Amino acid sequence: MLGLEMVVLLGIALVVCGALARRYPIAPAILLVIAGILIGFVPHLRHAHLPPEVILLVFLPAILYWESLTTSLREIRNNLRVVVLTSTALVLATAGAVAATAHALGMPWGPAWVLGAALAPTDATAVGVLARNLPRRTVTTLRAESLVNDGTALVLYGLAVGVTVGEETLTGWHVTWLLVVSYGGGVLAGGVVGLLSWQIRRRMDDPMLEGIAMLVTPFAAFLAAELIEASGVLAVVACGLFISQVAPRITTAATRHLVTPFWTLSTTVLSSALFVLIGLEAQSAFRGLSSTTLQRAWLDILLVTAVVIGVRWAWIYTTPYLIRAVDRRPSQRERRVSARQRTVSATAGFRGAISLAAVLAVPRTLESGAPFPDRDLIVVIACGVIVLSLLQALVLPAVVRYARLPSDQSVIDEIQLAEVFTLDAAIEALDDAAADLGVDGHVTERVRKELDKQRRLVDAEGAGDDPLVQHTSEYTSLSLALLALRRDALLQLRDERRIDDIVLRQVQARLDIEEVRFTRAAPPE
């Protein structure tokens, strides 16, 4: 019954925390972590733990795949240098600084590097949840960094664990080879699986089967990378970015209507569950600490957290000036960001699921059979740093206001461009398409009037007092009100037993499609 109780409690926590986050200016992630800590106080539930393999092999592939599908490859290309540096050099710098700090606090070098590698990467889930209202360039850079830096961190982590346990030898060539295999193999595995998925899905005409194929894809990419000892995380990211470019050409509207709500809901649940798990594991780690006192553990947590945050701030406020001294091209000057604006990126260095899974996966014994040095302290420090790093979300709104980020109109402008361009293309091709299909002239003129109306509405958007906008808004409101009345009449038929539930659901689905169409077509207020 323990598993069922945890599922029910988890669902309640997600609903309650989501409702509180809407009512109060607190990030949902922080509330979910607090909920996990509170659950850990229940004696019957404190022994519920999720194996780290489940986080790495079930949760992360799905979450990272959806993050990759919904990010902007163009923005990643435009900010490639920043992404590469933060996902490699910054990871190495953070891991080294944390390892040096932990060693100075009395931890042997091997476990210290394990802790440093685990805490080095930022978390894609936390960044996606906490920074979604930032400008596109900032969000894309943060998400791309958190999607890619896991590969570097996990190579360092595996090497540090192997050296400490006694299974690995530390040489420059060995480290270089592991990085090459991790990155190159991960990208190759993801690309191959993406190509296979593309070829399979383009031959499907069943939305349900295509949705299943899409569901399997990230796990196949992760597995393919693991088989060649490459980075499964990078494989999933590479596969997702590739599919994001080819899927619009092969995916039907029916398939998108089916899979998009599913992925949105499922990844939200998975990512939210991870934050609850972080709180639960943090509470459990503190209860199980035996190698040192709680006071000493808290001091270590505060010092390591200060190092993790401090290294990121130092990086954000030094490397741009070094790059400017080397690259003085006009195109790069136009992309420069002010010191105020960089405070947002410096504050958004959240840690999360990858760090948690890494420290929980640390083996309990060495190759000799002796206990892994300071394992319980590593878990306690990592959980504490994760929680404290997430608390930065409390000040993120104030930091955004301080940064005075420029208004990002690029998305709105590009939406306007896309709508105008597609409508003009349809209007221009209307006569030829009607002739090819043998459509009656009256039908063609009816469609032409509808397209012209949409085209004029797009031109009029932004002018709230435009008669066409007002007319369309009133038309939409009346149509939605009539749809609600039709639903009431439909329920009346069911309640009077004149139709059964199967018929009700089929007709209701058609009314739902109409409502979605009117809602999405409504002009902005």
What single-letter DSSP state applies at residue 176? H
Considering the domain architecture, whether residues 382 and 470 belong to the same structural domain is answered as: no
Task: Output the CA–CA distances (angstroms, integers) from residue 174 to 179, 232, 237, 477, in the order listed.
Answer: 9, 19, 25, 66
Task: Region of 462 please: left (phi>0), alpha (psi -120 to 50) or beta.
Answer: left
* C-alpha distance across the termini of the chain, in Å: 50
The predicted model gives 330-348 an average pLDDT of: 80
More confident residue, 202 or 523: 202
The predicted model gives 423-433 an average pLDDT of: 88
pLDDT at 133 over 70: no
Range of the domain at 397: 50-268+295-405
End-of-domain residue from the set 343, 374, 405: 405
More confident residue, 253 or 105: 105
3-state SS assignment for residue 185:
helix
pLDDT at 463 over 60: no
Q: Give residue-wise pLDDT tens across range 112-127.
A: 999 999 999 998 666 6
Task: Output the CA–CA distances (angstroms, integers) from residue 399 to 143, 403, 409, 439, in the order listed.
Answer: 18, 6, 21, 58
Considering the domain architecture, whether residues 387 and 432 belong to the same structural domain is answered as: no
What single-letter DSSP state applies at residue 525? -
DSSP string, 4-60: HHHHHHHHHHHHHHHHHHHHSS--HHHHHHHHHHHHTTSTTTTT----HHHIIIIIH
End-of-domain residue from the set 380, 405, 430: 405
pLDDT band at 337 (very low <50, low <70, confident <90, very high): confident
3-state SS assignment for residue 251:
coil
Considering the domain architecture, whether residues 85 and 153 belong to the same structural domain is answered as: yes
pLDDT at 172 over 80: no
End-of-domain residue from the set 376, 405, 434: 405
Which range (300-304, 486-490, 514-518) has the least confidence? 514-518
Contact 246, 233 (CB under 8 A): no
DSSP bridge partners of 365: 371
pLDDT at 218 over 90: yes
Residue 392's Cβ-count burial label (10 Å; 0-12, 13-18, 19+) is: buried
Amino acid at 409: Q
pLDDT at 224 over 90: yes
Q: Give residue-wise pLDDT tens across range 177-188.
A: 878 888 899 999
Tokens 């009100």 locate to 481
Q: Residue 515 falls within a domain, yes or no?
A: yes
pLDDT band at 389 (very low <50, low <70, confident <90, very high): very high
Q: Residue 4 falls within a domain, yes or no?
A: no
Considering the domain architecture, whether residues 383 and 434 belong to the same structural domain is answered as: no
Domain count, the chain: 2
Domain CATH number, residue 126: 1.20.1530.20
Tokens 């693991």 locate to 226
- Model pTM score: 0.84
Considering the domain architecture, whether residues 136 and 240 belong to the same structural domain is answered as: yes
Please give the pLDDT value at position 301: 96
More confident residue, 253 or 66: 66
Q: Residue 13 falls within a domain, yes or no?
A: no
pLDDT at 312 over 70: yes
Which range (73-77, 299-303, 342-346) has the least confidence? 73-77
Considering the domain architecture, whether residues 162 and 304 belong to the same structural domain is answered as: yes
Tokens of 216: 């399997």
Q: Residue 8 falls within a domain, yes or no?
A: no
The predicted model gives 429-454 an average pLDDT of: 86
Q: Specify which of 224-238, 324-338, 475-489 reaches the highest per-range mean pLDDT.
A: 224-238
Closest CA to 87 of 143, 135, 160, 170: 143
Q: Residue 382 falls within a domain, yes or no?
A: yes
Tokens of 149: 């830096």
pLDDT at 197 over 60: yes
Contact 279, 387 (CB under 8 A): yes
Please give the pLDDT value at position 223: 95
pLDDT band at 403 (very low <50, low <70, confident <90, very high): confident
Q: Residue 327 falls within a domain, yes or no?
A: yes
Please give the pLDDT value at position 500: 84
DSSP string, 68-129: HHTS-HHHHHHTHHHHHHHHHHHHHHHHHHHHHHHHHTT--HHHHHHHHHHHSS--HHHHHH
Tokens of 327: 């690259």
3-state SS assignment for residue 166:
coil
Helices then strands, counting H and E runs in the chain, come out as 25, 0
Tokens 């090459």 locate to 180
pLDDT band at 365 (very low <50, low <70, confident <90, very high): confident
Which range (254-268, 367-381, 416-430) has the least confidence? 416-430
Which range (212-226, 283-297, 403-417) has the least confidence? 403-417
The rounded distance, in Å, linking the Cα atoms of 327 and 320 is 10
Q: Residue 39 falls within a domain, yes or no?
A: no
Tokens 């923005």 locate to 75
Q: E strand or H helix at 411, and its extent?
A: helix 410-437
| Average pLDDT of every residue of the chain | 85
The predicted model gives 156-161 an average pLDDT of: 86
Considering the domain architecture, whether residues 421 and 386 belong to the same structural domain is answered as: no
pLDDT band at 212 (very low <50, low <70, confident <90, very high): very high
Considering the domain architecture, whether residues 391 and 517 belong to the same structural domain is answered as: no
